[in-house]
Amino acid sequence: MKSLVCITPGTFAYTTDVTPVAGKNETLLRIKRIGICGTDLHAFEGTQPYFQYPRILGHELAAEIITTEAEGFTAGEAVTIIPYFNCGTCVACRKGKPNCCAKINVCGVHVDGGMREYLVVPDYSLVKSEGLSWDELALVEPLAIGAHAIRRAAVEKDDFVLVLGAGPIGLGTMEFARIAGAKVIAMDINPQRLAFCKEKLDVAHTVNALDADVAEQIKTITNGDMAEVVIDCTGNLRAINGMINYLAHGGRAVLVGLQKEDFAFNHPEFHKRESTLMSSRNATREDFVHVVQSMKNGLVNPATYITHRLDFDNVKDGFKDLLNPANGVIKATIEL
């Protein structure tokens, strides 16, 4: 079995191992597609929190079941997985929040992931394909991140939702804000990505974060109210520290992006709004099912996202090119 290991930041190596065998309550998968996300890119750069090397990356997966005893699943079936392996007994798990389990092991982050030919996963992580293609299944997890953020924020019809960052997670967040009936505003520093939001996702309002009058633009778009919900999908400290300035009174600020430093808001600005600040971590099965059904019902077009493809044998040399903004990467996938 061939695997691709991130040995140290900036360094990949292929290794050959024995094909694993599934144990009790486990399923053996043959990997078909691997989505590359910000976590993988940050790990390669050396900027990902909670990370140790060496590590096999990859958690956005489409796969074929090789062996399983999971109820309702059979060999040969196409699936994706919920890659947040949880303990089942901590306070978060007992409260139905396995996405933020106190002892969580995220596949491809805390434990080795799917950049290999075969992977053993817990039976409880399997998600039915419902007829989705390999490409579509590889996009379910990143879209579920956005769906979870929208649910966390309790977005309502006609809310103005400002999404900071038009990368794959931000784009998915915009999609599910739209599905919830919100009026979406996209903010980024990349004009090409903002154009993508308008042309491909039909986002009516875009703002370049480098403009001098950003707050005034948000005020004008929202008829003076500012945004009921501001969601950071950048993990950029400056963006996080500034998000309070775009928040409506009574609004909700949600942190999806992740970075290593402390962040700070002006207390009077935060307090006078009676603001709600929350993080949104990973996603739950409810979010995965919502994404799958949204795809099936044509509410999300997965073909919109994938702009670059890599053959598994070419990832070692081609991965670094995905970090170059000039290459216009929205979403890259690895094919096996």
Q: What is the pLDDT of residues 1-58, one digit of tens each?
A: 999 999 999 999 999 999 999 999 999 999 999 999 888 998 999 887 778 999 999 9
User: How far apart, in whole angstroms, are the C-alpha atoms of residue 297 and residue 241?
Assistant: 38
Report whether 252 contacts 154 (CB < 8 A).
yes
**What pLDDT, on the 0 to 100 scale, is given for residue 171?**
96
In percent, the amount of the chain with pLDDT more than 90 equals: 90
Q: Cα 202 vs. chain centroid, distance in angstroms?
A: 20
Q: Which residue in the block uniquely carries the two structure tokens 């790990």?
A: 43
**What pLDDT, on the 0 to 100 scale, is given for residue 47?**
80
**What pLDDT, on the 0 to 100 scale, is given for residue 328?**
86
CATH code linked to domain 154-279: 3.40.50.720
**Segments of the chain with pLDDT less than 70:** none
Q: Which residue in the block uniquely carries the two structure tokens 């009676």?
A: 274
**What pLDDT, on the 0 to 100 scale, is given for residue 324?**
87
The CATH homologous superfamily for domain 2-144+283-335 is Medium-chain alcohol dehydrogenases, catalytic domain (3.90.180.10)
Strand partners, 35: 60, 333
Q: What is the pTM assigned to this prediction?
A: 0.94
Per-domain boundaries in the chain: 2-144+283-335, 154-279
User: How far apart, in whole angstroms, are the C-alpha atoms of residue 214 and residue 224?
Assistant: 13
Q: pLDDT (tens digit, 9 = 90+) per residue, 112-152? A: 999 999 999 999 999 999 999 999 999 999 999 999 999 99
